[in-house]
Amino acid sequence: MIDINLIRTNKEKVSENIKKKFQDEKLPLVDEVLELDTKIRELKLKGDNLRQERNTTSNLIGSLIRDQKQEEANEKKERVVEINKELETLEKDETNLNELLKSKMMLIPQIIDDSVPIGKDDSENVEIEKFGDPIVPDFEIPYHADICESLLGLDKESAGRTSGNGFYYLMGDIARLHSAMISYARDFMIDKGFIYCIPPFMIRSDVVTGVMSFAEMDAMMYKIENEDLYLIGTSEHSMIGKFKGQIVKEEDLPIALTSYSPCFRKEVGAHGLEERGLYRVHQFEKQEMVVLCKPEESMEWYNKMWQFTVDFFRSLDVPVRTLECCSGDLADLKVKSCDVEAWSPRQQKYFEVGSCSTLGDAQARRLSIRAKGENGNYLVSTLNNTVVASPRGLIAVIENNYQEDGTIKVPEVLQTYMGGKKKITLK
């Protein structure tokens, strides 16, 4: 959510930003917000004047009674009653208009960074850099689900009976490899100086609307029936929510956290092969990084964070590239974002395994997260980034470490987490 002062002083910038995101249907919101804002300020002024009149009148009543002017004092008392009724109506109207204003403000996208490329959708994202050589072996690499099944490591048929499409059982050494990656990601980020957290896996609606747009909420979140609780789609949601309504000390910034959680999402994903694979599923596990910092430090942290994900995957022998997300591919709260994509030697192309975003003060404004500095309180900047999400990360490791004999080489950094195992074979 942007600052209302920006709309008051530079509505052209706000409108231009909406156009850059190809959301022209939202352009009327700018004038609607200004109109509501004017009405609210008029009501506020009227209310202030009435309160001032009430105070003056109340003080006068005492003087009139002392001067034994009872009739005039009674008239003033009646006026105070009238003012109180007017104020009650005004305050109710002001509350309703403020709620309407907030609902419209939350639909207006955050101002994107000047460096963001302009484009309608993810097809216009821009490659930034490649890390590692994308190798295509001289033998065929089977589909990842077939590899896992051949090693008795995946059972989607049983998951279909228990839970439906989009769920899975990981078994044996494949399940162990998955857990090894998550544990290694935890330690990888701890070594970078991040504080390890395990957050709540359910959050209230006011936190949900504080960390994401309504469109994302509808597309992603599972709601608990008859409860004001939602299953998280990523631990970023509850980690940012941890600071809701808080004023942090400036000397405590930056706050760098890495959090583990299962994640739950409604998206069904692609049909065909992906339906029987693990690329798009309703449930997965993730190691995340979240940072709260001073606004002037946000871009420095943004560049650190995506680089951490690149370094993580390179340590697993997985070639990756970074893509700059274009304006039309940015969620409404994001200022700037890039994806980290892993090389798929089977498909001979890259696929997304992580996303790094800086959200400016959008989440902090919605959740009222401030820092106390020498010159007063100010909204912090928030950032988030995927260290690894499995099973997507698992697919990348399996494909890039698959051997011609059907085995999977365990990356050296994961061997400790798998009891020294160097290769996954069919027993």
The CATH number of residue 244's host domain is 3.30.930.10
Residue 205 CB partners (closer than 8 Å, separation 6+): 228, 230
92 and 127 part of one domain: no
224 and 285 part of one domain: yes
- Whether residue 142 contacts residue 346, with contact meaning beta carbons closer than 8 Å, is answered with yes
Residue 72 binned pLDDT confidence (cut-offs 50, 70, 90): confident
The tokens for 43 are 């009501």
373 and 263 part of one domain: yes
- Whether residue 145 contacts residue 156, with contact meaning beta carbons closer than 8 Å, is answered with yes
pLDDT, one tens digit per residue, over 323-343 is 999 999 999 999 999 999 999
Mean pLDDT in residue range 237-266: 96
> 403-426 burial by CB neighbour count: b if 16+ within 10 A, else e?
eeeebbbbbebbeebbeebeebee
What's the rounded Cα separation, in Å, for the pair 142 and 413? Answer: 25
Residue 344 binned pLDDT confidence (cut-offs 50, 70, 90): very high
Inform me whether the pLDDT recorded for 116 exceeds 70: yes
Residue 1 binned pLDDT confidence (cut-offs 50, 70, 90): confident
Of 52-56, 95-99, 148-152, 332-336, least confident by mean pLDDT is: 52-56
Given 80, 105, 130, the domain boundary residue is 105
pLDDT of residue 269: 47
| Overall number of domains in the chain | 2
Percent of the chain residues topping a pLDDT of 90: 85
| Residue that wins the pLDDT comparison between 169 and 74 | 169
Mean pLDDT in residue range 149-171: 93
What's the rounded Cα separation, in Å, for the pair 260 and 409? Answer: 25
135 and 62 part of one domain: no
247 and 301 part of one domain: yes
The verdict on residue 115 lying in a domain is: no
pTM above 0.85, yes or no: yes
Q: Which residue segment(s) compose the domain that 128 sits in?
A: 122-424
What's the rounded Cα separation, in Å, for the pair 184 and 421? Answer: 15
Inform me whether the pLDDT recorded for 387 exceeds 50: yes
pLDDT of residue 67: 79
What's the rounded Cα separation, in Å, for the pair 411 and 312? Answer: 12
Inform me whether the pLDDT recorded for 129 exceeds 60: yes
Mean pLDDT in residue range 151-164: 93
Taken as a whole, the chain contains a residue count of 427
Percent of the chain residues topping a pLDDT of 70: 97
Backbone angles phi and psi of 169, in degrees to 5: -110, 125
Mean pLDDT in residue range 16-23: 97
The verdict on residue 222 lying in a domain is: yes
Mean pLDDT in residue range 419-425: 96
56 and 155 part of one domain: no
What's the rounded Cα separation, in Å, for the pair 195 and 257? Answer: 5
Give 244's strand partners: none
Given 79, 105, 131, the domain boundary residue is 105
SS3 165: coil
The tokens for 345 are 């030697």
Residue 424 binned pLDDT confidence (cut-offs 50, 70, 90): very high
pLDDT of residue 274: 56
pLDDT, one tens digit per residue, over 268-292 is 444 444 567 898 899 999 999 999 9
157 and 266 part of one domain: yes
- Check residue 50 and give left, alpha or beta (phi > 0: left; psi -120 to 50: alpha): alpha
How far CA 87 is from CA of 19, 57, 65, 199, 421, in Å, comes to: 40, 15, 25, 44, 74
The verdict on residue 113 lying in a domain is: no
